[in-house]
Structure 1
């Protein structure tokens, strides 16, 4: 029963992310729910990436994913600049901003679109919290899910959730 409930929690989180406010009312948010055996596949890939890259904590976060009930992936795909010429991205004019592939994500990206992503992530995490599902926003999950080709996004993060007697995400 808890697995079914956690699937519903993930779906409600996805709804919260979808309906979160976005700059100029334009939506570039993409999402995917990961469950079942795919959690082990993602966890294994995270451990492997951590070993190959020498980056810390991919193993720790991968084990958290392995022991989760679901993971909600949230990203930005092909986000158009808002067009404010505000300079928050580091360029004076939006027309000068051109994203290219980096080591883990594409960038630079319009700062307002990154705020859209942050608001969507926060809305999803708060929804999980309101439903008493332990959760944590993790950048490492997004790196590997993107590399696996599970979600198209310039920048992606994951929010694993679990129903447990004690949060596995903060007692590490």
Structure 2
């Protein structure tokens, strides 16, 4: 079962990509702050690289104006995420979570079996809004879609 609105985000060790790579606990990442976490099935994949991450990069300032931090999650290793961040010109304070073993993704219950596409276990495409580690909004995409987890959709949902 996936994480639900009103629940606390799980506390799992991940690799955080920003100014370098470091280990982090998700419980600390989400504590005492407002955060939008969006997940992509894979760095360097078409929709993720052409639309999903670029939308959050383009609207990063809009989230920061609302004192909301943005984090991007993918089941990729930290070096792939670091290269993707550089290729996408991700601002240093839009952090990427490298969930290489899918521990956080599985703890959220939002994993996707991409074996049929040669991708193995991945994260479903989703976005959530959390305050102090508590999920306030959760938007999970239907397979093959990209609508409810976009930066524009999240800005509209948070304002509503």
Q: Normalization by structure 1: what TM-score?
A: 0.34
Larger of the two Rg values belongs to structure: 1
Higher helix share: 1
Higher strand share: 2
